[in-house]
C-alpha cells in the first residue's frame, strides 16, 4: 500500500502542554516500516505522552503525526488550511495503530479469546467464526492458545499482557506502540512478555516501544531514541547508544539504570511455550 | 379476619404494581439526571446537582404532601395514584442516579482507552465495555434502593392509594384487630422484599460470573 | 404566590414541632445505637442462637415498611399495658428499624478490624468483654462514622412518619396548621426547608467529628 520510501510513522515538531507544563517541546523522528524503535528516558521525560499523541488518544498541542504518509487527526482542505477530522475518520485511523498499555487493562468480562475477538467483530465487522479463528492463531503466537476461554481474572499479569498484545495484533495494525508494557509486572513475569515482543520484532513488525528494559532495547531495537525534558536528545543504534552515548545526560541516565538493572541484562529468558510453529 | 384476606391480597397486588411502576419511573428519571450531570455544560449540570441536594434533605412523606397538596394550588390537580408514583420517582431518582454514576465511573479508564485504540465508537464502548461491567457494579446498591422503594409504597396509604397498608386500615375499621392485621401485613411485605432481593441477587450473580469463572 | 405572613403566623407551632422532631431524632438515635451495637455483638459472638436472633431481627426490620412497624408497635404497646404513648411508640419503632442498619454497618466495621490487633489484645490477657470494649468497638465506631451519620440522616428523614400516630412533630404540626387555614403551599415548603436545614446541620456536625477523629488517630 505504501511506497517503500514512505515512513510508517513520521513525527514532526510534536508539542504537548498540560496547562503551563510543556511535556513535549518539539519532538521529531521517523520510523521506517518493519523498524523497531525503543524510546528511553527518565520518568517525566514525556515518553508516555509521546505515544499517546502518536495514536491520538491525547490530542497534541502542535506539530504533525503521519501514519503511512497520512496526517493524523486533521485534513488539509486547501494548501495550509486544515480542519479536524470527524470522529469516524479518527476511529478509522486509530485502527491502523495498535497499542499495548502499561496497566493491565484487558476487559474483565470477556475471555482471553473474547478480548482478541472484540475489535475484529465490532469494528471490522468480522463474523464470530472468522474472529475466533484469528484469535486462536494470535493466542497461539503469544503462547496462550490453551487459555483462550479463560477470563482475565484467572491469568497472571504476564499472560494478561500477552493477550493484550494479541488483542492489538488482531486489528492488523501497521504499527504497534508499547507503553512500558512490563513495568507493572512482577519481575519474574517480565521475560515472557519481552520474548513475545522480540518474536514480533523478528517478524518485522513496526514497533515503537517505550521501556525501561535496556536489555530488550539492546537486543531487539534497530534504533534508540533518548528523550529528555520533552526533546529528542539522542538518536542512535542501540550498541552505539548503550556503549558510547554522546551526551552527558544520556550517560548519567545509563549509569543509573545499569547499576540498578544489571541483573536483567545478563539473564536471558527461555522462549514462550507456544513459540514453535 | 379470614374474610378480609381477599381485600389484603388485592392490596398486595396493587403494592406490587405501584412498586414496579415506581421503579421504572425512578430509573427513567435517574438516567436523565446522570446524563445531565455528565454534560459538558454547567447550566445543564447545575440544576441536576441542586435537585439532588434538595431531595437528599426532604423526607418522602413531606415530598408526597407537596406533590399532592401544593401542585393543585398551582392548578395541577392529580389523583392519588399518579401523585404517589410521581413522588416515588422524584424521591428515588437522585439516589439511583448516584449509584449509576458511581458504577460508570468505576469502570477503569484504561479499559475505555484500550477500546478506543481498537477504533470502537463511543456507542460501542458504552454498549460492549462499560455497560456489562457497570450493571454488575450497580446492582447491589440498587437492590437496597428498590427494596426501600417497595417499602415506601406503604406511605401512599396516607393519600388513600389502595395498596396493602391502606387495605389494612380498611380491614381494621371492620375487625378492630389492628395489631394482628399489621403483623400479617408486615409478613406480606417481608415475603415481597425477600422475593425481590433474591431475584436481584440472582441477576447480579449471573452478570458478574466473569469475575469468578 | 408565597405569602410570608402565613409562615410567620404559623411559626410558633412549627418551631414547637421542630423541637419535638429533634427530641424524637436524638431518642431514636440512642435506641438505634444501643440495639444495633448489641445486635452486632450478638451476631459475631459465636453463639448460634444469638447469631440467628440478630439475623432475623435485621431481616424483619429491613424487609418491612417502617410505617407498618410503627403501627405494630403503636397497637402492640397497649397489649403490654402501655397506653397512649405515641411518642414512645415512635421512638421504639424508628430506633429498632434503624438499629438493624446500624447492626449491618458495625458488623462490616468489626470484621475489618485487623486480626493482628485482636490477637495482640488476647496476648495481653484481655477478657472477651475488655476486647470488645477497648479494642474492637472503638475502632469500629470510628471507621464506620461516615456510614453511621448517613444512617442517622435517614433516621431523621423517617421521623415524619410519627405524624400518622399523631405525634406533634414538625410534619404533624404543619398538617395541623393546614387543617385550620387550608393553605398548604407556604407551610409545606417551609417544613421541607426546615428538614433540609436539619440534614445540612447533621452532615456538618458529622464532618467535624470525622475530621477530629481522623486527626487524632491519623486514619484516612
CA distance B187 to chain C (A): 8
In this complex, is the C-beta atom of C190 within 8 Å of any C-beta atom belonging to chain B? no
Highest mean pLDDT among B40-44, C110-114, C204-208: B40-44
In this complex, is the C-beta atom of B173 within 8 Å of any C-beta atom belonging to chain A? no
Q: Are strands A21-31 and A9-18 parallel, antiparallel or unpaired?
A: antiparallel
Q: Is the pLDDT of residue C206 over 50?
A: yes
Burial class (CB in 10 A: 0-12, 13-18, 19+), A259: exposed
- pLDDT category at B1 given cuts 50, 70, 90 is low
Predicted pLDDT at C94: 97
Give B 95-114 residues with CB within 8 A of chain A. Answer: 108, 110-111, 113-114
Give A 178-237 residues with CB within 8 A of chain B. Answer: none
- The whole model's pTM is what? 0.83
Q: Considering chain B, what percentage of its residues have pLDDT values greater than 90? A: 81
Look at residue A127 and tell me if it is in a domain: no
Residues of C in contact with B157 (CB under 8 A): 67
B79: left (phi over 0), alpha (psi -120 to 50) or beta: beta
Mean pLDDT of chain B: 93
Predicted pLDDT at A253: 87
Q: Considering chain B, what percentage of its residues have pLDDT values greater than 70? A: 100
Q: Which of B37, A139, B191 is nearest to C59 (CA)?
A: B191
Residue A264's alpha-carbon distances to A47, A155, A184, A245, in angstroms, are: 22, 24, 16, 20
Predicted ipTM of the assembly: 0.90
Chain-chain contact of A122 with B129 (C-beta, under 8 angstroms):
no
Chain-chain contact of A105 with B133 (C-beta, under 8 angstroms):
no
CATH number, domain containing residue B150: 1.10.3720.10
* Number of domains, chain C: 1
- pLDDT for B161-188, tens place per residue? 999 999 999 999 888 889 999 999 999 9
Give C 98-157 residues with CB within 8 A of chain B. Answer: 157
CA distance B199 to chain C (A): 14
CATH number, domain containing residue C121: 1.10.3720.10
Residue C116 lies in domain? 4-216
Residues of C in contact with B61 (CB under 8 A): 160-161, 163, 171
- pLDDT for B12-38, tens place per residue? 999 999 999 999 999 999 999 999 999
In this complex, is the C-beta atom of C72 within 8 Å of any C-beta atom belonging to chain B? yes
- pLDDT category at C97 given cuts 50, 70, 90 is very high
CB-based contacts of C219: which residues, under 8 Å, 6+ apart? C142, C143, C213
**B touches C, CB cut-off 8 Å, minimum 3 pairs:** yes
Residue B165 lies in domain? 2-212
Predicted pLDDT at A56: 85
> What residue of B is the nearest CA neighbor of A98?
B117
- Residue where the block lists cell 411559626: C11
Neighboring chains of B (3 or more beta-carbon pairs < 8 A): A, C
Q: Is the pLDDT of residue C54 over 90?
A: yes
Residue of A100, A122, A150, A154 to mutate when probing chain B, most B C-beta within 10 A: A122
Report, as ranges of residue numbers, the positions in chain A whose pLDDT lies below 70: 1-4, 259-277
Residue A238 lies in domain? 9-109+175-261
- Residue where the block lists cell 469475575: B211
CATH number, domain containing residue A249: 3.40.50.300
Predicted pLDDT at A268: 44
Residue C135's alpha-carbon distances to B57, C131, C186, C217, in angstroms, are: 35, 5, 51, 13
Please state, in angstroms and rounded to a whole number, the distance separating the CA atoms of residues C190 and C174: 9
Predicted pLDDT at A87: 85
Please state, in angstroms and rounded to a whole number, the distance separating the CA atoms of residues A175 and A55: 10
* Number of domains, chain A: 1
Residues of A in contact with B213 (CB under 8 A): 151, 153-154
B117 near A105, Cβ under 8 Å? no
**Can you tell me the mean pLDDT for B116-137?**
92
Residue of C7, C17, C59, C63 to mutate when probing chain B, most B C-beta within 10 A: C63
Predicted pLDDT at A271: 43
- pLDDT for A68-80, tens place per residue? 888 888 888 888 7
* Number of domains, chain B: 1
Predicted pLDDT at B75: 85
Residues of B in contact with A109 (CB under 8 A): 132-133, 136, 210
Residue of B18, B55, B61 to mutate when probing chain C, most C C-beta within 10 A: B61
In this complex, is the C-beta atom of A128 within 8 Å of any C-beta atom belonging to chain B? no
Amino acid at each position: 500500500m505504501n511506497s517503500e520510501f514512505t515512513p510508517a510513522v513520521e513525527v514532526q515538531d510534536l508539542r504537548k502542554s498540560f496547562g503551563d507544563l510543556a511535556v513535549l517541546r518539539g519532538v521529531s523522528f521517523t520510523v521506517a516500516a518493519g523498524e523497531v524503535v525503543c524510546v528511553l528516558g527518565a520518568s517525566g521525560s514525556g515518553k508516555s505522552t509521546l505515544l499517546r499523541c502518536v495514536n491520538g488518544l491525547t490530542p497534541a498541542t502542535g506539530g504533525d503525526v503521519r501514519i503511512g504518509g497520512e496526517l493524523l487527526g486533521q485534513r488539509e482542505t486547501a494548501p495550509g488550511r486544515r480542519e479536524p477530522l470527524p470522529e469516524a475518520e479518527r476511529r478509522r485511523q486509530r485502527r491502523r495503530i495498535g497499542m499495548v498499555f502499561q496497566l493491565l487493562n484487558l476487559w474483565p468480562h470477556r475471555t482471553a479469546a473474547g478480548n482478541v475477538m472484540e475489535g475484529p467483530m465490532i469494528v471490522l465487522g468480522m463474523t464470530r467464526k472468522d474472529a475466533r479463528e484469528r484469535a486462536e492463531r494470535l493466542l497461539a503466537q503469544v503462547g496462550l492458545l490453551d487459555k483462550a476461554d479463560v477470563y482475565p481474572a484467572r491469568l497472571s499479569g504476564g499472560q494478561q499482557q500477552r493477550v493484550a498484545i494479541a488483542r492489538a495484533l488482531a486489528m492488523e495494525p501497521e504499527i504497534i506502540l508499547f507503553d512500558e508494557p512490563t513495568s507493572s509486572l512482577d519481575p519474574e513475569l517480565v521475560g515472557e512478555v519481552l520474548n513475545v515482543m522480540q518474536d514480533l520484532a523478528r517478524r518485522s513488525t513496526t514497533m515503537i516501544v517505550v521501556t525501561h528494559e535496556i536489555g530488550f532495547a539492546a537486543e531487539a531495537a534497530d534504533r534508540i531514541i533518548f528523550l529528555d525534558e520533552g526533546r529528542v536528545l539522542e538518536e542512535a543504534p542501540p550498541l552505539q547508544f548503550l556503549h558510547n552515548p554522546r551526551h552527558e545526560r544520556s550517560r548519567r541516565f545509563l549509569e543509573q539504570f545499569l547499576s540498578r538493572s544489571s541483573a536483567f541484562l545478563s539473564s536471558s529468558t527461555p522462549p514462550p511455550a507456544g513459540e514453535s510453529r | 379476619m379470614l374474610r378480609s384476606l381477599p381485600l389484603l391480597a388485592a392490596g398486595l397486588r396493587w403494592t406490587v404494581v405501584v412498586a414496579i411502576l415506581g421503579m421504572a419511573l425512578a430509573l427513567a428519571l435517574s438516567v436523565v439526571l446522570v446524563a445531565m450531570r455528565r454534560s459538558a455544560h454547567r447550566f445543564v449540570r447545575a440544576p441536576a446537582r441542586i435537585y439532588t441536594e434538595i431531595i437528599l434533605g426532604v423526607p418522602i412523606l413531606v415530598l408526597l404532601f407537596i406533590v399532592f397538596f401544593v401542585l393543585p394550588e398551582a392548578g395541577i390537580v392529580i389523583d392519588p395514584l399518579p401523585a404517589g408514583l410521581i413522588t416515588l420517582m422524584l424521591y428515588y431518582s437522585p439516589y439511583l442516579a448516584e449509584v449509576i454514576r458511581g458504577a460508570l465511573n468505576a469502570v477503569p479508564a484504561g479499559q475505555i482507552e484500550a477500546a478506543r485504540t481498537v477504533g470502537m465508537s463511543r456507542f460501542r464502548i458504552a454498549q460492549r465495555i462499560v455497560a456489562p461491567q457497570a450493571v454488575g457494579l450497580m446492582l447491589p446498591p440498587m437492590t437496597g434502593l428498590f427494596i426501600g422503594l417497595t417499602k415506601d409504597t406503604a406511605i401512599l396509604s396516607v393519600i388513600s392509594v389502595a395498596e396493602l397498608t391502606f387495605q389494612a386500615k380498611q380491614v381494621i375499621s371492620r375487625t378492630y384487630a389492628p395489631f394482628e392485621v399489621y403483623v400479617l401485613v408486615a409478613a406480606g411485605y417481608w415475603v415481597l422484599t425477600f422475593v425481590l432481593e433474591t431475584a436481584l441477587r440472582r441477576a447480579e450473580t449471573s452478570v458478574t460470573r466473569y469475575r469468578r469463572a | 404566590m408565597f405569602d410570608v405572613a402565613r409562615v410567620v403566623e404559623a411559626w410558633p407551632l412549627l418551631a414547637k414541632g421542630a423541637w419535638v422532631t429533634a427530641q424524637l431524632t436524638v431518642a431514636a438515635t440512642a435506641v438505634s445505637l444501643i440495639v444495633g451495637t448489641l445486635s452486632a455483638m450478638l451476631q459475631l459472638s459465636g453463639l448460634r442462637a444469638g447469631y440467628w436472633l440478630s439475623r432475623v431481627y435485621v431481616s424483619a426490620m429491613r424487609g418491612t415498611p417502617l410505617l407498618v412497624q410503627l403501627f405494630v408497635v403503636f397497637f402492640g404497646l397497649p397489649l403490654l399495658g402501655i397506653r397512649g404513648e405515641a411518642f414512645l411508640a415512635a421512638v421504639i419503632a424508628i430506633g429498632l428499624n434503624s438499629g438493624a442498619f446500624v447492626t449491618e454497618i458495625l458488623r462490616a466495621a468489626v470484621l475489618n478490624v485487623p486480626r493482628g490487633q485482636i490477637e495482640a489484645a488476647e496476648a495481653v490477657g484481655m477478657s472477651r468483654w475488655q476486647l470488645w470494649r477497648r479494642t474492637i468497638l472503638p475502632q469500629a465506631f470510628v471507621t464506620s462514622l461516615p456510614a453511621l451519620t448517613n444512617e442517622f440522616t435517614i433516621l431523621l428523614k423517617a421521623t415524619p412518619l410519627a405524624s400518622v400516630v399523631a405525634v406533634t412533630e414538625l410534619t404533624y404540626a404543619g398538617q395541623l396548621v393546614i387543617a385550620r387555614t387550608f393553605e398548604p403551599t407556604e407551610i409545606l415548603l417551609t417544613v421541607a426547608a426546615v428538614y433540609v436545614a436539619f440534614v445540612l446541620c447533621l452532615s456538618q456536625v458529622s464532618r467535624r467529628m470525622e475530621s477530629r477523629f481522623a486527626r487524632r488517630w491519623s486514619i484516612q
